[in-house]
A and B are shown apart, each in its own frame.
Chain A
């Protein structure tokens, strides 16, 4: 009985790697995801363009922050500097996520519609790829690769931006506002990472509706996803005098953040700087409770709803052709 029964981790890891590379389903899925980035170049170009623009700003702006001499002592306080540093880290990611939301909306609306518009669905369907696999690759691209890819690009941009800014400060060309603070950096990034995960799960029903519309609608997908909810709200108001649909949509837009009581946390995290008040992002991280967000039943109901939409989209695509 010399056959080893347990595989040591060092032997196990390459085996998984080889399995992943040689498994035809994994290879197919990987190819399908790459295909999404070939077709929708805006998915990867947008965050890169935002990154380049921000870095150009870091390189080319003059010391535009004019600091009042009377406040300068407070501004140059190391603790305040660290708060400003974290705030800058956070602020720099905002353009990334705004751009991502826009690009992803158009991507999701087009992902199962474009192939019917240009008739290439007949080519895609000539390949041995199931509808479930096709939809899964698109959803994975939109819900995992793009958001976390954007997070990674934003993080690298943050680092480069800080590096450039600090180098220029050393050379005396910009105010010495930013100092490196590792703890603040990690807390800020962690906060944004959790925010991103919660956003993906909370907004999944929107993703589900968009993908479903993309598979279902014969033409003009954008009109359907905007006009139908609008009409539903108006009809409900006129027919029943109620606002359930409207309230549901509002809740689905910001509800999770309300349940986290973020406003209160932000208020508590305000730090006085002179006459102004600045939010300390690391302090938001210390106060916020991430776990209850994942215990929110509505979050998971939304995820289940989105899953049902994806399933329906795959079923609809089954008999969709170029007509």
Chain B
């Protein structure tokens, strides 16, 4: 065994990377042989985006211990800046792959900036207050994006802020070769779908490496220390605001990249998609997968996105069954009696649980 794999946590991380790569290979193989139902095949890129969202939110909620309810806001910032970047560079950068990478970087950078600006007031709070204020900021971002009209022509990008609701695309004053990218409440339309499953897989890997390496570093220890005991962390010279901010901004940047991937996978996307329900959905992935447990987040995000599709045959009862499944999973994962039973039946289970705990 190589030297660096002797560390239990490093080994745990590499098993996680290996599992993700394995899952990608299996799904790609199934896709090539048309073994995946069409309904789910269309969900592959969004699933990757949701996985990245779950990983990034887990950094704030699970690792830093700050309950944020506005994560979809950062996703929408990333989605729209990513779409604008990809669309306006359509001629300058003909290669779809490179254009997507640029879109992801632009999305990540803008969401990181938004995260920093919002973080300044929000991170003065903690607990329930922080949750409520992040919820409010998520809604504010959604409303702001709804008011945006953006178009591009050979003179550059034109943007309008449609506060009164009276402006239209015509007010941009585009030349004949120009076209609108974001049309206010209608959202983005006519987007070229350049996101691919492979790009999604790469983004998941990048998000995993960034978050896991961060958690295992000096910065990650500081973030965990702040979560565990704020006064003690301050007393050993760690600025609590700084490290909560780092977690918040890194998380926002990853959410922005996920948003750019998501946005460039649909030809039509309205801002209302990134509402409170989306934030809660991501939070459900995180809580169900386990706080601080990145592997769990990935599984939860994938399963809970496929589940509603798979339950389509129950039509009317679909959401009811979904809710019941959620409740059962929560009870099952938090029930000591059940855990003891499982650990008795499967003796290896305990060591697995220790490994899972090793994430946080």
Do A and B pair up? The answer is no
